[in-house]
Chain A
């Protein structure tokens, strides 16, 4: 019972925050996207149950909530890894070989773009320009940016996260 309490506590805490977010935006014009952003900050992704709560709370049809979530790449239906790797595939990075960086990451992690490693540690994404073109090619792991990379550097970069 006591161990369950702990877990339920976290779930309740998130649910409470979600209600708070909905309350804050209720009645505001065009509230859906800001609410989804904040809800994703709380949950890390947007599972169906969260979308249902938002749909009821804001009185927006669930089909529309789902439509918006799947339209924008920032919103995710799948959980992300503890370390989110974003490979920049903007033009400046591409002409400097970011596709080779991405290939190397897929090879080293054994996953494809959009997936998460089995232990939930890393997830891999390709994104459109993070605006650090001066350092091309770049990847981001959570908020840390690694620039001027070659495929050979990837092993060293991943090594840093070995024991985290």
Chain B
């Protein structure tokens, strides 16, 4: 094995790859070669470090200096200053720049300080394309322990004792699911992993697969041993090419090491794993639809019962868990259920990964103990709302969830409290909205999504959500009536009680939730024909304040539809008939003379 005096970790998660980290890696290689350092310093591409907003991220070890927003032209400086002269490039460093020990400098950064990384333990730490690095971080140790020291029922007992609940959204006790599948009758059983992360705004499963694919593979083999299955399927979105690629590499490496295949660790236990690519259907995140899709059909859900634990893939008992749930398993077996139960709340143990996005400074991925308050996530970890705007609401659970308004910002986040508030944990998307977001418009956005993604099998979802969307379009279009609000509520109740699957049953939640906390906004749209946030175009106009206008004509020249006219020394005016409300004039006006009139 070769030894290096320093390691440069370059984030290869989707966020950083999108902001050019691959070119930065190549530049490092070029610069190291130029300085003949390629035998002394190793470049490692890792998974997501979490702080996507500050990407691309580069960490240099042994010092542990974290450089953020690294540009191509910065690479030379890092190589020459840090790697050759041993001086940190402070201007690029995150955290406490003057801390004596750079690796400790991050400990005082709130974004990292409050996190507990279990599912994300290896993300941003190891090279996901190298099984040896995973093994060096206790990888496959839990599998060895399970196969050689524990009986299948011991494994299940340990998971039950840990109190782990499904991280896909509903929070079903994982150990119980394992037990049900293990007790189901049948000689052939399957293990499946739900990596069809369809919730827009959630990318934690993707980051785990990209940053630590072996943790999921190891957990699935353990699950196979615990319930008595010899075949597993990972159903992953085709839209995640990096994740698919790293999974393929990881499976091949595990096979090569004898960790997949026949007689694993010299025992009688054998297990095979296959990838199945999704093809862009949100409903396939629903378990029965996912199973139908693995079988090669249209991903339409089926009535439950029978549950997959009894009759799943090809009518055989199937254990289906989500990516993040699996990523917790090896740690629980290594450190013990007793350790795991010290984290979290009474009813919900452990941590939850959230993809924090929207109007927040530190967009990215955070893993927090369940029960952390929303305020801590938004202000302490997330760094607050940009541009001094006011926090309005956070949306969790995507199209199946709801929003948590500012008045409930101190609520501890767990499965039960979120449900009481009319939202849900969901897979972990957490979208922050400020005063410039219109809640009726947001509800409409989610309904558009469900109408689009409804599979069409059952009428309450297919027709009901469409009718709801039409009403919302009427309201945001300035043509709503007070009885429309009532109709929305009646329709919602009917859809919830009669739709076939989780997608339909939860589709009205964004509407009900915004009605619960922001009813006055709906009423303003309907009664006063006003959008308080100034988002709904039919209800707002741009006007030029005559006393501020210097008649420069910049607005008129930039207007794409020639709706602005005026002359020298005469204030310009906007023809409201012609105006398409694009807002270009307002952004171009050098004198801030143009206002949005909501």
Interface residues of A (CB under 8 A from B): 29-34, 36-37, 64, 67-68, 71-75, 89-92, 94-96, 100, 103, 107, 127-136, 138, 143, 145, 147, 151-152
Contacts and interface: CB of A to CB of B under 8 A. Distances in A.
A112 B575 CA distance: 27
Contacts of B560: 107
Given A30-B276, A75-B279, A134 B358 contact: no
A136 B363 contact: yes
A115 B314 CA distance: 38
A133 B203 contact: yes
| Candidate in A68, A71, A103, A147 with the most chain B CB atoms within 10 angstroms | A71
B303 interface: no
Contact of A92 (B201, B276, B297, B446): B201
A96 B359 contact: yes
Contact of B238 (A31, A74, A152): A74
A91 to B, nearest CB: 4
A73 B277 contact: no
B522 to A, nearest CB: 19
B130 interface: no
Contacts of A143: 241
B364 A34 contact: no
A133 B203 CA distance: 8
A130 B237 CA distance: 10
Contact of A71 (B18, B201, B359, B455): B455
Given A32-B297, A91-B445, A129-B203, 8 more contacts: A30-B294, A71-B299, A72-B279, A72-B280, A74-B238, A91-B358, A136-B357, A145-B18
Nearest to A70: B298
Contacts of B239: 74, 127, 130-131
A70 B395 CA distance: 31
A91 B200 contact: yes
Given A92-B431, A129-B200, A33 B276 contact: yes
B52 A95 contact: no
Given A128-B198, A131-B14, A37 B279 contact: yes
| Candidate in B201, B355, B442, B560 with the most chain A CB atoms within 10 angstroms | B201
A92 B15 contact: no
B265 interface: no
Contacts of A90: 200-201
Interface of B: 14-15, 17-19, 52-53, 55, 197-203, 206, 238-241, 276-282, 293-299, 314, 355, 357-359, 363-364, 395, 398, 429, 431, 433, 437, 442, 445-446, 449, 453, 455, 560, 582, 587
| Candidate in A67, A89, A128 with the most chain B CB atoms within 10 angstroms | A128
B200 A128 contact: yes
A26 B228 CA distance: 28
A73 B437 contact: no
A131 B206 contact: yes
A147 B206 CA distance: 18
Nearest to A68: B298
Contacts of A133: 15, 52, 201, 203, 355, 357, 363
23 contacts: A29-B295, A31-B296, A33-B296, A37-B279, A64-B297, A67-B298, A71-B281, A72-B280, A73-B279, A90-B201, A91-B201, A91-B395, A92-B363, A128-B449, A129-B202, A129-B203, A131-B15, A131-B203, A133-B201, A134-B53, A134-B55, A135-B18, A145-B17
Given A91-B431, A92-B201, A72 B357 contact: no
A135 to B, nearest CB: 6
B473 to A, nearest CB: 14
Given A68-B298, A92-B431, A95-B433, A73 B280 contact: yes
A59 to B, nearest CB: 12
The 8 A-B pairs of least Cβ separation, nearest first, read A134-B52, A92-B357, A72-B279, A90-B200, A145-B18, A30-B296, A73-B280, A91-B201
Nearest to B53: A134
Contact of B200 (A30, A36, A68, A89): A89
Nearest to A132: B18
A77 to B, nearest CB: 14
A91 B398 contact: yes
B18 to A, nearest CB: 4
Given A68-B296, A74-B280, A96 B358 contact: yes
Contacts of B279: 33, 36-37, 72-75
Contacts of A103: 582
Nearest to A35: B296
A114 to B, nearest CB: 12
Contacts of A152: 587
A95 B359 contact: yes
Nearest to B449: A128
Contacts of A91: 200-201, 357-358, 395, 398, 429, 431, 445-446
Nearest to A31: B296
B555 to A, nearest CB: 15
A121 to B, nearest CB: 22
Contacts of B453: 128
A72 B200 contact: no
A147 B18 contact: yes
| Candidate in A71, A90, A94, A129 with the most chain B CB atoms within 10 angstroms | A129
Contacts of A68: 296-298
A92 B560 CA distance: 28
B277 A34 contact: yes
A72 B281 contact: yes
B296 A134 contact: no
Given A30-B295, A71-B298, A95-B431, A129 B18 contact: no
Contacts of B297: 32, 64, 68
Nearest to A32: B296
B281 A73 contact: yes
A147 B567 CA distance: 39
Given A90-B200, A91-B395, A147-B19, A131 B240 contact: yes
| Candidate in A91, A96, A135, A145 with the most chain B CB atoms within 10 angstroms | A91
A95 to B, nearest CB: 5
Contacts of A147: 18-19
A29 to B, nearest CB: 7
B238 A37 contact: yes
B431 A33 contact: no
Given A67-B298, A89-B200, A90-B200, A138 B357 contact: no
